[in-house]
Structure 1
Amino acid sequence: MYKSYSFDEIKDKLDIFKKLDDEFPIFEDGLYFTIEKKDDVIGYACLEKKEENYYLKRIFIKKDSRFKSHGKKLLAFIINKKIKKGSLIIEKDTPIDGFLVKLGFKKMENGSLSIEDVEHKEQRKKEGQKTVISSIFWNIILAATKISFGYIGKSRALLADGFNSLSDVATSSGILLGIHFSNIPEDEDHPFGHEKIESVIGVIMGIFMILTSFELGKGGLELLFSGEKREIPEMITVYFALFSSVVKYFMYKQKIRVGIETENSALIADAKDSRNDIFASLSVVLGIIFSIYVNPIFDIIISILVSVLIFKEGVSVILDITDTILDKQDVEFVHEIKRYIYDNTDIKNVHDVMMRKSGDKVFLELHIRVPKDMTVYVAHKISDDLESSIKQDFPSVKNVIIHLDCIID
């Protein structure tokens, strides 16, 4: 159980904390966080707030409870749940520097350790949510206008494009849920985090696109071979198709920018769908014009082509995201990691480098060779330093597992 206390709340328990740790810090404006099991205090952390930043004054875990990740869990709780803005700073070197670096703290020029601007982790979520909410709003507008005027203006192509926009509302809503759940911090049941849910949402979106294309294509083919009299679309439908292509262009630019910046695979997939919608709407314009001035059959043919385009993009989205789910290796990134190690360390042999991606985060595994007579302490220090350096210089890397092999004579 994690608990938080102000100094006023903790005053009644000072004897307990002094007995736990005779160096227990007392700050009247301090923030205290504990990890407890029933009435037993396992450990605590004390923070002092100055302006926008928080300073870790002391963290302490009972001796018989150390090496059970309690300190890591307590700090993760503070960072993920309690600090909403600013940086968490440790002003001087501590015996647990290595432990803190593994948690994401970075060395500052003055020797302090800091997790800079812990609010930054929320920016990806907020930027993605803002983009998707905007997409939902505009797709509702486009779906309502295109379906209404497709029906009134007797254009099956515009009607099909309207239902395509309606499907985009559903998929964007799914992405919105994905962004929310993927940003839930890692916990004991999900130690690698929840980022992969973005890929799951992306696949669902691709399936939804395929089902939509099937229904649109089926209706168009039935009408094409039915022998029914074909109505000539009204000219007003052209203007709504043009309006749709312009709106979709700006939606595509916004989604692809945010998707690439935040490495959100579901948002990138949605951007590709919006890009296809631009061509779909322009095809509708041509289909309506040809239907008016040449033959009404073009309106039906274009509606079928729109469904084929939606189907193709749905398959493409699923295949792209499946590569992520199946942990397809980014060969260029793997080579970059190897070059980084060879260029910046004395390590002569790096092999079996593997990676897997979860949302915008990369998890690395690699083997390095060290002399067989090297002590465990020195080898472990080399491994720790390498892990910290990779995470420092490659912000997308969330975790690194390094296996030590010996150099064979």
Structure 2
Amino acid sequence: MNQSELRELLSTEGLRLLDSLPAWHSSDEIVRTIAELRKAGHSPGLVAAVLSQSKLRAKAASKFGPFAERMLFTEAGLEQATRLSVAAQHAGRFSKAGVKWVADLGCGIGADALAIAALDLNVTAVERDETTAAIAAFNLAPWHNAQVVHGDAESADLAGIDGIYLDPARRDARVRLTNPADWTPSLDFAFGLAERYPTGIKLGPGIDRDLIPDNAEAQWVSVGREVVELGLWFGTVARPGIRRAALVIGDHGTAELTAAADSEDEAAGELGQYLYEPDGSVIRARLIGDLARQLNARMLDTSIAYFSADAAVATPFATCFEIVADFALDKRSLKKELASRKIGTLEIKKRGVDIDPATFRTSLSLKGENSATLILTRVGGKRRALLAQRTTFAETSAATA
């Protein structure tokens, strides 16, 4: 979004027109909508701006829920914004730690600042991109305890601030920057602030773990089975004795595994009736061993993030599958087996084998009315194909009764 589009959008006419539009649907006849708006006397620039924003609001609903209906976005800002359910977790840390005034450095469109302000904490949101800062100011306007500053995080005035939150920019013109020294602000700058203030730093979940300081609480967060971030927490916003955490947010609510360090792996053993696929946050946090022991399970292979058990136990930290059949990983044999079982819909998962699931599925020439999951992996060092069905909660309860 450029400055002229923003001016169109923030005009009284622009905001009134945007709020008057019905909810965006991908099936909408966009050409007809444009024609109707132009016929009503709205300029081409304004029509383009409000329709683009309407589309972004619809897309943002998955992150912000009903709040999205009164927010403004940029494409990049929405993509990088913290989900509101996760931002609430961040804000809660500052509130519980007794922090009164947070500087959100690199605030983007203001998602984390919004959650912080909603807990009655003062927040100063700093954003270097002028257009994004203006959008953040709009989004934070309902909160008297929030202010937005257009400026650089590294030169922000921190007088009176007693807590820091940073989300370093890790892209330049949509190109991912791999060197933490090139991030804005740099990771060293962020770590420097963490030595002086209670600090939270949002990073990508795949960051080199060697960069994680020993004194940080590292929390990997997944939402709906997607790992969305790594949060590093320092000072009073870090929890005593916890250095590794996996926070899982889903329909079940929130659940968390925590530990003082990476957990030791569980020993490998035989394939049981059930197989578990740990949530990505558990894998990233290296807490697979702890989870396996909780579920009385054993690893299929010490280098593969699958484990197995003889009984199904409901857990928010893993997906459970019941093993229907165990085959050698041979394409010709599998093709015959799947055909005999009339399996036409097949979910393929794989770990520890070099196979492209999409190509492999095509080669099986699937036909039939039944569905299943095929898990391609190694068991006891041998390549196996495990035909399975997802275990639902009701089934799991029956299995553990």
Report the TM-score when normalising by structure 1. 0.24
Q: Which has the higher helix share?
A: 1
Q: Which has the higher contact order (CA 8 A, sep 6+)?
A: 1
Q: Which has the higher strand share?
A: 2
Report the TM-score when normalising by structure 2. 0.24
